[in-house]
Structure 1
Amino acid sequence: MSALPERADVVIIGSGHNGLVSAILLARAGLDVVVLEADAVLGGATRTEHPFAKVPTLGQSTGSYLLGLMPPELLATLDVDIPVLRRDPHYFLPTPGGPGSPYLLFGSDRDATRAQMEQFFSARDVAADEAMQVEIAALRADLAPAWLAEPGTVEEIADRHIRPQLQSTFIDLVRGSVADYLQRFGFKSELLMSMYAVTDGLSGLNAGPDDPGTGHNFLVHNMCRLPGADGTWMIAAGGMGTVSGTFAAAARAAGAKIFSSAPVSAVTVAQGAVTGVALADGRTIEAGVVLGSCDPYQLMSLVPDGALPAELTRRMNAVRKTGSTMKVNLALAGLPQFACLPSGTASPFGSTIHLLPGSAGLAGLAESDSPMAALRAMWADVQAGRLPAEPTIEWYLHTTVDPSLQDAAGHHSSALFVQSVPYELADSTWDAELPGYVEKLLDICERYAPGTRELVVDMMPLTPAGIERHFGITGGHIHHVDNTVAFDERMPYATGLDGLYAGSAGAHPAGSVIGAAGHNAAKRILADLGRG
């Protein structure tokens, strides 16, 4: 901090992956760039930590945990390499019965997946799944160039990028619900529909399966185009801190200066233009350009009242939502054993393990609701401020694929990603309810993999408010702006206040570890400075 400069060409608030991408591009263009990070750790939610007091050398991606949506063209532009590991299988859908109960392992062997789907589900589900995958692959290919460009309206994006025969499908998907989109394909199994609805349509959203815009989130989560991904999500070797660490090294090599433990208290403005930033400790940096890599609402709070265009403030406040994601980071002494898997079956670890309400019915066990009805009941609970009686869980355990995260004793890092929960409880508090709800989540794990509870050595649970505190994201919303909000309706790169720009997950194209917003914001700054 003793080397903090008094002036710079560009100050970037926050060292999330988008901000670091911006820093690379702006510094390489010859600008004097300073990145200010409030936390002691770089990377925002893209970090690898050692959060377990009882196993202090066990690594864990405590926030974001998979890399899939980053455009390969962006990595080529940045000339960086992020080592990634393929998960195969990438999805595991178990049921809570014993050997012989239905399950699905989705992997690179499509014939094996189809055979399992037909054996445990139906030929109709095979046809529906394949038709959906073909359509999504076409949309993924068409939409890809739009992510590294300024956004337009849904119709403009369709006209500019989507093949004519899919334009109406694209518009309906982006504006519509994930439930309606999945229904089009004629799945017989509601469990398969609910799996896709949760992991792609609802992940990170404050929304239910029938809400408009959940189709956009579904499309976003199917934009995996990294080499070797084949439409699936990958693991960053060494955890997600590898992503931010790689970008930070490239930014420093280009001349950017990065400071941690340097919270910004205000963006300074004079005569309708940005003049720099003030830090919480009283120091200031003069700059004609300030770029917010923090979430849009934090950036807006740093600007003097009335300095931003009133229409922008109104529009962003209208789409503001709190987070509805809970994450329970776990340290495990060993690997769980899933009761439905026969001996000799391919390992489900590394994959996303889907624990879904309604799966017990498929195993011939009593079930209160159908899978899609259970999703709707879950969302009704969240809207009423209740902890869902039947939450959905994505369970993952990456240390079998990336053993570099393990400690010397061979512990495994794992996590439960729970969608959805309320930010605040109507009739209680998270402090009062968290221990019991974590036990409920472990009870669900026990239904599928008996003995799991005994493997838990330590844990780090993060409620939505916990995510807000730990990562500094307003409202604990992991996408900054709900991904029901698409394209030009998100935070604009140029805010309308001269010299103030935004380039976080709250901007186009969407929330997740993508990096396109950092790229696009930097390109906009360079164009506005006459360097584009």
Structure 2
Amino acid sequence: MGTPKAVGDPGSDMAADDTVDAVVIGAGHNGLVAANLLADAGWDVLVLEATPYVGGAVRTAELTEPGFRHDVFSAFYPLSAVSPVIRGLTLERYGLRWRHAPAVLAHVLPDDRAALLHRDLEATIASVSAFDARDGEVWRNQFDQWQRVKEPLLDALLSPFPPVRAAARLLRTLTVAEALRLARMLAMPVRALGTELYHGDGARLLLAGNALHSDLGPDATGSSVFGWLLTMLGQDVGFPVPEGGAGGLADALATRLKTRGARVECSRAVTRVLVAGGRALGVCDEHGSLIRARRAVLADVPAPTLYRELITPERLPSRLLSDLEGFQWDDATVKVDWALSGPIPWSNPEVGRAGTVHLDSDLEGLARYSAELSSGQVPVEPMLILGQMTTTDTTRSPEGTEVAWAYTHVPQGVEWDRDRLRRFVDRMEHIVERHAPGFTGRIRRRHVLGPADMHRWQPSLVGGAINGGTAALHQQLIFRPVPGLGRADTPIDRLYLASASAHPGGAVHGAPGANAAKAALARTGLAGAAYGRLMRSAHAALYPE
């Protein structure tokens, strides 16, 4: 690639090895979404990815045996199915096919009873009513409310902050009183919401278990956002998966992008964003090659990586760097993938129909698990989120077999040697075994990823954090990644944060990438100069020197 060049203080006339309209750092799904939107606008786009693979945490590999296709990190994509961003890209034209399990989700209690979520409303109502006959009608009313608000609500949640147009649409849908009650509901701890709405544990556990797909426990303020949202999405669109593996979603994004003439280059890490005069001019890669960006640089990397590693400190406001010291990661993750000789032999056969399974806590158990995480303790009885992938998509493994996985959260900062990790995964398997006697006898091979493994395999999963930073209220909206604008713009002109560290955060919906692309397009549009002055003024007020 040539001899490394000095990159300390490039000027606007810097000699470049390549010149494009925009450089996107990182080919995770957000980076690919951003690149697609820029390419749709006619921009010449280059995506540079440090690993050998596109997709970031959206990836499939044969981790155990040939023919067993495992989703290495993320697996189920309800938010992808409803995201206006993902839907607008019409990825079905580029090979994406969605598949569903017979049932969406089962929450298994210690006594083997299970609350089942189905796409069939009446089937879900029957399940929650088995815990208390009064709950079926409440569930129906909740779903009716969801149907009324889902489109403007999703637009509001996924749009740049503040979501003025989406909020106005939402207010036109609801009365003022209804809007206030909805806001209160979403701000509540999910256990309080479940207790207020429902009488039996079935519906309450569906809400609380789904909230724990984030790092928020049942008593955390705002955990209802995630519990209610994921539960209603499961009722509405299910928890779909791409046929053949999660990587099918990333492949469709990359294929679409290449048809627009953009380039994606893997195994080419960016080491520096080049800045002069307060403006991003391009990047330098690990080989010393300089790539000039005429219009924008978009970074699909964690905020600490962008600001601490890719930009020299003197280019950034000292207050921003100080605020970044308080950036909080979400919990770390331990994940095990199994190649099984047959389906999991659940004591409750209904559980075998669900793509996603929560094991095996009641509400008090979920609260203990969350409290242990909050206090830095490795949970004694961790809640497991388990995926039955061949049940969901028969292409994942040979006929008669099953691909399955389970993960759980553990505290950040814990040291995991191989023996400690092995013993912890044995404990996870024991939890499955007590609800599915004979399960461990069906394990042909297993593959384990501890927090450090996740970070090494996918650098954006820092310390095994899978959501790009905590979902707690103090690091959402205008506080993500630090107190600021809640937008993709950074204090450096024409540099945009496009990762899950930006609003609206983690999950595979493409919103951070789309918001960054929209900001870049606005900056270079007809009113681009005015937009740039406005953003510079806003950042000057936030980060006075």
Q: TM-score, normalised by structure 1?
A: 0.86
The residue aligned with 1:7 is 19
Counterpart contact for 1:159–1:167, Cα < 8 Å: no
Q: String of CA shifts for 1:430-473, please: whole Å, max 9, x gaps.
A: 54421111111111111110011111122222233332222112
The answer to whether structure 1 residue 475 and structure 2 residue 484 are counterparts is no
The residue aligned with 2:390 is 399
**Distance in 1 (alpha carbons) for counterparts of 2:188 and 2:122:** 32
**Distance in 2 (alpha carbons) for counterparts of 1:50 and 1:35:** 26
Secondary structure in 1 matching 2:124: helix
Task: Tell me the CA shift for residue 219 of structure 1.
Answer: 4.7
Secondary structure in 2 matching 1:69: helix
Secondary structure in 1 matching 2:128: helix
The answer to whether structure 1 residue 253 and structure 2 residue 259 are counterparts is yes
Task: Tell me the CA shift for residue 133 of structure 1.
Answer: 3.1
Query: Larger deviation: 468-477 or 59-68?
Result: 468-477
Which of 398, 413, 421 aligns to 2:410? It is 421
Counterpart contact for 2:358–2:386, Cα < 8 Å: yes
Residues 96-245 of structure 1: matches in 2 within 5 Å? 102-119=113-130, 121-147=131-157, 149-152=159-162, 161-162=170-171, 163=174, 164-189=176-201, 192-199=203-210, 201-205=211-215, 207-222=216-231, 224=233, 230-245=236-251
Name the aligned partner's letter for residue 60 of structure 2.
T
Name the aligned partner's letter for residue 463 of structure 2.
G
The answer to whether structure 1 residue 519 and structure 2 residue 514 are counterparts is yes
The residue aligned with 2:85 is 74
Task: Tell me the CA shift for residue 148 of structure 1.
Answer: 5.3
The answer to whether structure 1 residue 85 and structure 2 residue 99 are counterparts is yes
Change (3 A) 1:106 1:415: same
Secondary structure in 1 matching 2:60: coil
**Distance in 1 (alpha carbons) for counterparts of 2:33 and 2:358:** 32
Task: Tell me the CA shift for residue 415 of structure 1.
Answer: 0.5
Task: Tell me the CA shift for residue 44 of structure 1.
Answer: 0.2
Change (3 A) 1:127 1:378: same
Change (3 A) 1:273 1:247: same
Which of 487, 490, 497 aligns to 2:477? It is 487
Q: TM-score, normalised by structure 2?
A: 0.84
Counterpart contact for 1:128–1:187, Cα < 8 Å: no
Counterpart contact for 2:86–2:509, Cα < 8 Å: no
Counterpart contact for 2:83–2:510, Cα < 8 Å: no
Name the aligned partner's letter for residue 151 of structure 2.
A
Task: Tell me the CA shift for residue 160 of structure 1.
Answer: 5.8
The residue aligned with 1:412 is 402
The answer to whether structure 1 residue 286 and structure 2 residue 292 are counterparts is yes
The residue aligned with 2:371 is 380
Which ranges in structure 2 are unaligned for 5 or more consecutive residues?
A: 3-15, 482-486, 528-545
Counterpart contact for 2:107–2:205, Cα < 8 Å: no
Task: Tell me the CA shift for residue 410 of structure 1.
Answer: 5.1
Change (3 A) 1:10 1:222: farther
**Distance in 1 (alpha carbons) for counterparts of 2:321 and 2:165:** 24
Secondary structure in 2 matching 1:291: strand
Residues 55-66 of structure 1: matches in 2 within 5 Å? 55-66=65-76
Task: Tell me the CA shift for residue 315 of structure 1.
Answer: 4.5
The residue aligned with 1:273 is 279
Change (3 A) 1:37 1:413: same
Counterpart contact for 1:204–1:325, Cα < 8 Å: no
**Distance in 2 (alpha carbons) for counterparts of 1:38 and 1:259:** 9
Counterpart contact for 1:324–1:421, Cα < 8 Å: yes
Change (3 A) 1:32 1:411: same
Counterpart contact for 2:332–2:463, Cα < 8 Å: no
Counterpart contact for 1:423–1:463, Cα < 8 Å: no
The residue aligned with 1:499 is 494
The residue aligned with 1:296 is 303
Counterpart contact for 2:343–2:400, Cα < 8 Å: no
Q: String of CA shifts for 1:206-232, please: whole Å, max 9, x gaps.
A: x3221223233335535749xxx7242
Task: Tell me the CA shift for residue 317 of structure 1.
Answer: 4.1
Name the aligned partner's letter for residue 326 of structure 1.
V
Task: Tell me the CA shift for residue 156 of structure 1.
Answer: 9.3
Which ranges in structure 1 are unaligned for 5 or more consecutive residues?
A: 358-370
The residue aligned with 1:360 is none
Task: Tell me the CA shift for residue 95 of structure 1.
Answer: 4.4
The answer to whether structure 1 residue 308 and structure 2 residue 322 are counterparts is no
The residue aligned with 2:333 is 325
Counterpart contact for 2:413–2:463, Cα < 8 Å: no
The residue aligned with 1:390 is 381
Which of 421, 425, 437 aligns to 1:450? It is 437
Secondary structure in 1 matching 2:76: coil
Name the aligned partner's letter for residue 446 of structure 1.
E
Change (3 A) 1:493 1:219: farther
The residue aligned with 1:353 is 357
Name the aligned partner's letter for residue 69 of structure 1.
L
Task: Tell me the CA shift for residue 351 of structure 1.
Answer: 2.1
The residue aligned with 2:345 is 337
Change (3 A) 1:109 1:183: same
**Distance in 1 (alpha carbons) for counterparts of 2:123 and 2:506:** 33
Task: Tell me the CA shift for residue 350 of structure 1.
Answer: 4.6
Change (3 A) 1:423 1:148: closer
Name the aligned partner's letter for residue 455 of structure 1.
R
Counterpart contact for 1:147–1:516, Cα < 8 Å: no
Secondary structure in 1 matching 2:282: strand
Counterpart contact for 1:291–1:501, Cα < 8 Å: yes
Counterpart contact for 2:110–2:360, Cα < 8 Å: no
Name the aligned partner's letter for residue 375 of structure 2.
A
RMSD: 2.7
Flag the structure with higher helix content. 2
Name the aligned partner's letter for residue 525 of structure 2.
G
Change (3 A) 1:349 1:299: farther
The residue aligned with 1:508 is 503
Change (3 A) 1:220 1:488: farther
**Distance in 1 (alpha carbons) for counterparts of 2:167 and 2:156:** 10
Query: Larger deviation: 492-501 or 300-309?
Result: 300-309
Counterpart contact for 2:115–2:206, Cα < 8 Å: no
Task: Tell me the CA shift for residue 134 of structure 1.
Answer: 3.3
Name the aligned partner's letter for residue 90 of structure 1.
V
